[in-house]
Structure 1
């Protein structure tokens, strides 16, 4: 029995694909071990979203070869697609498996071992031209490492070509999973005991299976027995129409928690980013969701220090963030990504200025998060409990509400995987709220 170790870098889509490869290898008879252990095969599912992500991907590949020089080191994922020459020259890599070929991981390894036994030592590369395929890679899972919540990938690729982003070149054009395949996986996950599923994709909002859209997937999931919560990975403003939100408001199991892509609240910066909406249009979409769904929690990503962003532009973005009243902000300093339009733009911002703006916006985000959570004190809500923790020598069961607030209850009973009604009392820490059952 050969031993395989897998390491994931990057997004939730990558995590899903790593889990799917793990299950394929298990089914083929591989023993799955920790990445820190000695293994016969190391598979690194790489990320390429930033130059730093590329560097981390290389570091993990080199670490694997150093741990066991005789092991087969497999590089897969987005770094493979965007840095083909560097990957070809990297002596620590034995096998190169691009996006859309991860489903073939067992067959690729079998072929490699057969060639090695025959005395052939050539580095094999299994990389398709990702920018000229319309095939959706139909990976699937039946269980995940996390015991209560399962991510379900339904879409791949992106057509947006934001000026700062390399992902369309790494993931290719938009491709969607069939409704039938999604339904089958929903039923498998439900049978495995998962109560919450998170629909995810590279550009989830663009899901399209022969005219069936994202809202059709959501409504289908709403009718799967055993699934009690449906959470969306990320939404773009383009998908939020009156029809979409009206139908969404009728979905019984939808979590009123929306990661709603923004990137900047300044129209000039949005245009430079090649984002296809204005701040006013974005705000109108937020209000449309609020019209049909009670007290939704909006979270978002915001980039500071984009090329050409003046102090006035930054302040405009910050004030817009306050206007929307986000429940949580994820703040990123603009990071130059080789191969993108933004990397060649004039007026690149000094790192010290980026840091000051980042720290300021993070503080704004913390204030908004506290305000959002403060309003929950005294209210009844439901929590899907995930794990037991020890805090100040006291045991608590912790989990998340439908709007993704982390809740702790001082309870001895085993609550893992259960959805229970609680009353929110106060802040236990900055990150966790205290409740009682």
Structure 2
């Protein structure tokens, strides 16, 4: 009996958001039937895929730096008589495909976020015509119809329900790289979620560029959440990323009524200045955001919030920045992502007057992050002495330790046997750090 051929090695490096993480997982699923097995290093890979985010200029430049290193590996492999295929995927591929090929000839193909289901065909074409660079994109419907069944590797999973964006914030490239808003049919999502639950997944995070704009089910995202909450074994549901303009009454009510919907909401605001919010084309003001937060907390008093902030947007004055700090103090966030504004080619904000000097942006970002970190530490510290339901996901860094997540996405460390992995456990919290919690003892297993 002949031995099975050795597996081709596949290296995927993911940058950026949860959507990219999901896309990378699905690329691995698509390529598995071709004999590709994952590798954590590019130098032994037959196929190296970079899947970057296009939101921040720094992330894009990291891709070109990484490609420079992979080019050297590809040349070394060629000298040894081995073939290495290099692909760039995601929003950067969609927005800068020609530029990628011009700047880095080692790239064999670029594939947009709606086209990775075609990777087997594209790779085959590249192998047949070595040296021909290929770029491709397709409609999202075709992509989801073509993807194979999920192969989850843990007890949590991402689940894309919506793609694209119609909001056209002036700083953002997503409408140009991901296209118009589109929602997957609820029946398809429910089928995928049931399959995940049958394979041991207990928590799903519903993904979308504007996930609460989802309209593929009766009742929108709230209706979808209620359908998924009825699936046996699926005990926790999260969703990200939300837009304040799409946070409707039904979804707010679901936070108070659906036990499986976790009390942690990522609700980007970007700025606390109405003048800057108008320039960003956000479609909401600071007062309306604060009123929305008040309504959500009335429905679910224990809900914690995280958000996104951009400092140094064109035209931002000191009083605008102070308004952002005032909003942060008024809300009290459990976590946040914050960035200096970076111009993205082709977006309206890149051509706006009043670009803020880099040193001013850096100074403001440091002040904003100091306030946010203080709030995050205070929120974590407030968990000490409480009993929290924790979904344990994996073994810890040393024998006898396991790691899970609280309802608020905090990492929780506990000395306990591995048999609790995959279980939701009531844990008494005895200590809080800046980014994690430590459990004292197990009180109950769900």
TM-score of the superposition, structure 2-length normalised? Answer: 0.90
Residue in 2 that maps onto 1:309 = 316
Q: Distance in 2 between matches of 1:32 and 1:404?
A: 27
Is the Cα–Cα contact under 8 Å of residues 71 and 106 in structure 2 kept in the other structure? yes
1:28-67 equivalent positions in 2, closer than 5 A: 28-67=34-73
TM-score of the superposition, structure 1-length normalised? Answer: 0.91
1:13 aligns with 2:25: no
Residue in 1 that maps onto 2:249 = 242
Structure 1 residues 409 and 32, CA, compared in 2 at 3 Å: closer, same or farther? closer
Q: CA deviation at 1:390?
A: 4.5
Is the Cα–Cα contact under 8 Å of residues 136 and 177 in structure 1 kept in the other structure? no
Is the Cα–Cα contact under 8 Å of residues 383 and 420 in structure 1 kept in the other structure? yes
Ranges in structure 1 where 5+ consecutive residues have no aligned partner: none
Residue in 2 that maps onto 1:93 = 107
1:81 aligns with 2:94: yes
1:158-173 equivalent positions in 2, closer than 5 A: 158-173=165-180
Is the Cα–Cα contact under 8 Å of residues 400 and 418 in structure 2 kept in the other structure? no
Q: Distance in 2 between matches of 1:399 and 1:225?
A: 21
Residue in 2 that maps onto 1:430 = 434
Q: CA deviation at 1:295?
A: 1.0
Residue in 2 that maps onto 1:401 = 406
Of 200, 205, 209, 2:207 maps to: 200
Q: CA RMSD in A?
A: 2.1
Is the Cα–Cα contact under 8 Å of residues 51 and 338 in structure 1 kept in the other structure? no
Q: Counterpart of 1:249 in 2: which secondary structure?
A: helix
Q: Counterpart of 2:298 in 1: which secondary structure?
A: helix
Is the Cα–Cα contact under 8 Å of residues 272 and 323 in structure 2 kept in the other structure? yes
Q: How many residues align?
A: 425
Q: Counterpart of 1:137 in 2: which secondary structure?
A: helix
Q: Distance in 2 between matches of 1:167 and 1:241?
A: 22
Is the Cα–Cα contact under 8 Å of residues 149 and 196 in structure 1 kept in the other structure? yes
Is the Cα–Cα contact under 8 Å of residues 327 and 369 in structure 1 kept in the other structure? yes
Structure 1 residues 9 and 140, CA, compared in 2 at 3 Å: closer, same or farther? farther
Q: Distance in 2 between matches of 1:316 and 1:156?
A: 32
Q: CA deviation at 1:103?
A: 0.7
Q: Distance in 1 between matches of 2:208 and 2:368?
A: 27
Residue in 2 that maps onto 1:370 = 377
Q: Counterpart of 2:396 in 1: which secondary structure?
A: strand
Residue in 1 that maps onto 2:151 = 143
Q: Distance in 1 between matches of 2:370 and 2:438?
A: 23
Q: Counterpart of 1:291 in 2: which secondary structure?
A: helix
Q: Distance in 2 between matches of 1:411 and 1:303?
A: 41
